[in-house]
Amino acid sequence: MEAQADSRAVAQALNTGERFVENYYRSFSKTVGKFYQDDTKVLWNGNGFGGAQFKAQVLPQLQQALAGGFEVHGLDTQPLGDFTLATVTGLVRIGGKKNQFTQTFVVQRTGGLTYIVSDAFRLV
């Protein structure tokens, strides 16, 4: 019985992670801020921010700089109780050049919506 519960949790985490990642990167240049709450913890290339500060001061600049788009090459997910851990690898176009990146999210579904609890992005 426990194995069934574990496999359901893993499947749910994968489903949540896949939907979230698809929506996040598709909406990055326009409405990605909707995924961040004021208390979201953000670590962007080694610089730490609260969600409100990130949305107001940093995200608009990143949306311009990273407007070339993302290519997701890998996604791993794991259930963490009420949360989902999603680790993404891929390429992001900056100034015409493709750069490798990794991004790790902890997300939570609340009321049918998925919010970022923690976001750690790093160019590789």
Count CB atoms within 10 A of the CB of residue 97.
Answer: 9
pLDDT in tens, 3-55: 666 899 999 999 999 999 999 999 999 999 999 999 999 999 999 999 999 99
pLDDT in tens, 62-93: 998 998 899 999 999 999 999 999 999 999 99
The DSSP code sequence of 7-49 is HHHHHHHHHHHHHHHHHHHHTTTTTGGGGEEEEEEEEETTEEE
d(CA 7, CA 65) in angstroms, rounded, equals 40
pTM of the model: 0.92
Q: Is the pLDDT of residue 1 over 60?
A: no
Q: How many helices (H) and strands (E) does the chain have?
A: 3, 6
Looking at residue 6, its pLDDT comes to 86
d(CA 49, CA 71) in angstroms, rounded, equals 25
